[in-house]
Amino acid sequence: MGEHRDAKRRALLDAARSMLSEAPGTPPDINDLTARAGMTRSNFYTYFSSRAELIVAVAEDLMPRWISTVTEAVRDAGGGRRGVVAYVHTTLDLVAAGDHAILTALAAQLPDGAARERLNRMHAEMTTPLRESLAESSRSDPELTTELVMAVTFKASELIEGGRPLTEVLTAVDALIDPPV
pLDDT per residue as tens digits for the range 12-58: 999 988 888 777 667 788 999 999 999 988 889 999 988 878 877 88
Range of the domain at 74: 51-177
Residues 39 and 120 in one domain: no
Mean pLDDT of the chain: 87
Q: What share of the chain is helix, strand, coil (3-state, %, to 5)?
A: 80, 0, 20
The whole-model pTM stands at 0.78
Residues 61 and 120 in one domain: yes
Q: What Rg, from alpha-carbon coordinates, does the chain have? A: 18
Q: How far is residue 157's CA from residue 120's CA, in Å, rounded to a whole number?
A: 18
Residues 21 and 60 in one domain: no
Closest CA to 54 of 36, 33, 68: 33
Residues 132 and 70 in one domain: yes
Percentage of the chain exceeding pLDDT 90 = 50
Per-residue pLDDT reduced to its tens digit, 66-106: 899 999 999 999 999 999 999 999 999 998 987 777 777 66
